[in-house]
Amino acid sequence: MKKAVIGLLIILLGAAAYYYFSTRATQSEQPTPAQPVVIEQATPMPEPEPEPELPRLPEPETPVVEPEPVAEAEPLPPLNESDAMVLESLSGALGEANVIQGLR
């Protein structure tokens, strides 16, 4: 057991020394300086040719639409009086049996 611990310590010390010296060597090296970038003057683009004028179309005549007169709406009857009218119209559309069953 003691031999295994001693062997493990030797391996760990060796790995630590390797890491220490390898990082130190890369820090001491100076990177090469960057070369300046030479920018050439771009040639100006030629002026685009003017587009030919399109012939003007006459403006379409829009017809004037007069609004239709609004008919006076018939006022709604009181709620109690309208129940009979609603039941009658629903009975005509759905059938009297269906309306009675739905309103129960």
Which tens digits make up the pLDDT trace of 17-33?
998 888 776 665 666 77
Q: What is the rounded distance in angstroms from the CA atom of residue 100 to the CA atom of residue 49?
A: 81
Q: What is the rounded distance in angstroms from the CA atom of residue 92 to the CA atom of residue 85?
A: 11
Model confidence band, residue 104 (pLDDT cutoffs 50, 70, 90): low
**Percentage helix, strand, coil, to 5, in the chain?**
50, 0, 50
Which tens digits make up the pLDDT trace of 45-98?
888 888 888 888 888 888 888 888 888 888 888 888 888 888 888 888 888 888
Does the pTM exceed 0.95?
no
